[in-house]
Structure formats: structure tokens, C-alpha cells
Chain A
């Protein structure tokens, strides 16, 4: 019997130039590891507007929420607020997925209250990551929280039993969410555009992206215009919120918002399909909403615009299937 020669274990430290990493968390974004920006070349009608999409689905856990989740968890750990407790968070999926991945790497249990309407794909991803998932009707608590059932439920879990079991990062009220974008998304965009960005577009959700990125960009250049994209009541654009039906997050800073563009589902999904087919960008419906909003900007808007592409379309196959109907199937 022969024994295979042994080789000493080679220690290969993280080397970003080789895209070699010690730990998945080394891929989290920042000024030295920005998410890519890609120019939109075909679907915008304006000749004077150059729109770049920041592809946040290239983050290690699949969405822009990797940034907030990393900062939320780090904040809890630094302040000693976890201290043996579990986490509970309300999320339409992306924050929860990133939090679940980071939590499991830190040996922390996570319970997620998630709106009922969120696609099954996201719920399954969370369960694969070991999170406990509580699908929650929006109108669970019709007396006090008409459209925020998941948030109300997470709050009640955190507060029940004297608050001894759970701690809630609460992305809607936690300044660490804003700080994540002030310290990463904003500087990345400024650097990637050589400081030439004129417009920044993102959707209303937790508003951490708009507030943090907008604040940073306006500090660098007060002329940067921050444009918020808002869905209509009863929309089917996961991750986005209509403040006609949902409570405004405490972290929203209206001082950084210059304009709000309201978008219907139909043009958002139509634009998402165009991004797939004309730009080769496999994005989620919220990206379609943001690009559609950009397409409605008037001729007085010119220059360089950056829009957020929060996540990919891979988590929305159920929604896309509904939208497509029998399109793309054999027609007999």
C-alpha cells in the first residue's frame, strides 16, 4: 500500500487583483471592491441622458441589501446588543437573505417575517440558509398597521417576553442602514463616475439607499439630483414601497430627495422585459421600474445618471411567468 505524498497546506491570502478570497464576506462591496456599473445603450429614448445601472446583484448574497445587512449586523455586534439573542427582521426578502447568510457565518439564528406576496423563490432561499420564515399578510394588524403586517409582527416578536429572546436590527429605523450607503454606495458611484454624476435614481423601500447615497453625493456636489421611484398602491414590485399605503421609514431624509416619480406595474414589467431582451440585463422588476422612471425624464434632464439595479430577475420567475403568459411557449 502506498501513501500519497503530502504537500504542505498553502495559505493563499485574499488577493483582489486575482479575485481570490479567503471568505465570502471579503466580496462585500466598498470603494475597493465596487459593484459594476453598466451603461444602458438601447432602451432609453433620450439622446442627452447617459444612464448607468449599478448592478447590485453582483454582490455575494445577490442584492443591494448585502450592504445594509453587513452594517446592521456589525452595528449590533459592536454595541453588544446581540449578546446571545437571536435576530428577527421584517424584510421583503433581500435584506433577510443577506442577513441570513451573514448570521449563519456568525452562528446567529434568524427569524424573518416576510410579506405573504413575496415570491416563493426568496422564501426558499431563506430556509436554505437556515432562517425561520414567517409569511405574513400585509393586513395582519388592520387596527394599527394597515399595510405593514410583517414589520408589526417582527416588532411584536422582539418586544414579547420582555425582549429577552430576540433583537431586531430594524432596517427601517436603523441609522446603520443609511451609513452603509453613505460609506460604500455613494463613494463608489462618485469614484466610478469621476465625480460627474448628475442624477441618482433609486426606489423607495427602506430608503437607506436613497438617504445614504443621496446625502454623500450631495455633499460632494450639491447639484446632484436625487430621484426617488415609488410604486402605486397594491403594486407587485417587491422591495419597493408606496407611502400611500405603507408607513414612511424613520431613516428617510426628505432633504436629499429632489423628485419622486410614481410608476405603474405594467410599464415597470415592460421595461424589465426590454432590459432582458435589448440590453442583456437579467434584472428584477424594481430595476425595470427605475429605468422606466429614467425614461420619463424630460428634455431638461441631461448628463450622467446612475440608477440602482437592486437585484436580479432570478428570484422572480413566478412573477415573470404570470407577466409573460404563454409568450415564448410553442404556438400551435
Chain B
């Protein structure tokens, strides 16, 4: 499990607590679409299915999953729009 670095400063935060997959995937894709390349989205979910779906979405879209936190009840993802070099 990666640990988010303190230097990760999200350009936007999306709280999808209470939403079941694939709703967080859908909303995250919309939110990322509004960001500039390289901008970071912090995504909070409470459906453990997101642990599979969000990385798959990032691969599919060509975005970069920088870090994931999972405390059992809440999952937090840091996604950068586009590929990082």
C-alpha cells in the first residue's frame, strides 16, 4: 500500500462516501476531465470495490494513481490526470 506524500496537493477533492461502485468511477472520471494535465484529484470512497475499480479506471483512462490509503472503512486515492514521466 502506498502512502500519500505530503507534497501531494490536490487541485480538487471528490467525496464519494456512501456511493457504490461504479458510481465513484463515473464521478471521478468526470472530475478528472475538468482538471488540467498533471493536476491531482483526491478521491474518497467507502465502497471497498473501489480498490479494484479505481486503479482499473486510471489504467483505462491513461491517468496515474499516485497513492492509495485504506483504513478499512474509507479509501482515499490520489490521481494525477494523464501519465506522469
Contacts and interface: CB of A to CB of B under 8 A. Distances in A.
Interface of A: 134, 136, 139-145, 149, 152-153, 155-157, 159-162
Given A136-B26, A153-B26, A141 B53 contact: yes
A161 B47 CA distance: 11
B20 A159 contact: yes
A140 B52 contact: no
B60 A141 contact: no
A156 B18 contact: no
Contacts of B52: 143
B18 A141 contact: no
B21 interface: yes
A271 B18 CA distance: 48
Contacts of B25: 140-141
Contact of A160 (B19, B29, B60): B19
Contact of A145 (B18, B22, B23, B26): B22
Contacts of B18: 160-162
A134 B26 CA distance: 9
A156 B20 contact: yes
19 contacts: A134-B26, A136-B26, A139-B60, A140-B22, A140-B25, A141-B53, A142-B60, A143-B56, A144-B49, A145-B22, A149-B22, A152-B21, A152-B22, A153-B22, A155-B20, A156-B23, A159-B20, A160-B19, A162-B18
Given A143-B56, A156-B19, A156-B21, 6 more contacts: A140-B26, A141-B53, A143-B52, A152-B21, A156-B22, A156-B23
A152 B29 CA distance: 16
A266 B65 CA distance: 41
Nearest to B25: A140
Nearest to B61: A137
Contacts of B56: 142-143
A149 B25 CA distance: 11
A162 B47 CA distance: 13
Given A142-B60, A143-B53, A143-B56, A160 B23 contact: yes
Nearest to A155: B20
Interface string B27-49: 00100000000000000000001
A156 B26 CA distance: 11
Contacts of A149: 22
Given A143-B52, A143-B53, A153 B60 contact: no
B64 to A, nearest CB: 18
A138 B30 CA distance: 15
A144 B29 CA distance: 18
Nearest to B20: A156
A155 B21 CA distance: 9
Contacts of A153: 22-23, 26
A66 B30 CA distance: 32
A162 B18 CA distance: 8
Nearest first, the 9 A-B pairs at minimum CB distance are A141-B22, A156-B23, A156-B20, A160-B19, A143-B52, A160-B20, A159-B20, A140-B22, A161-B18
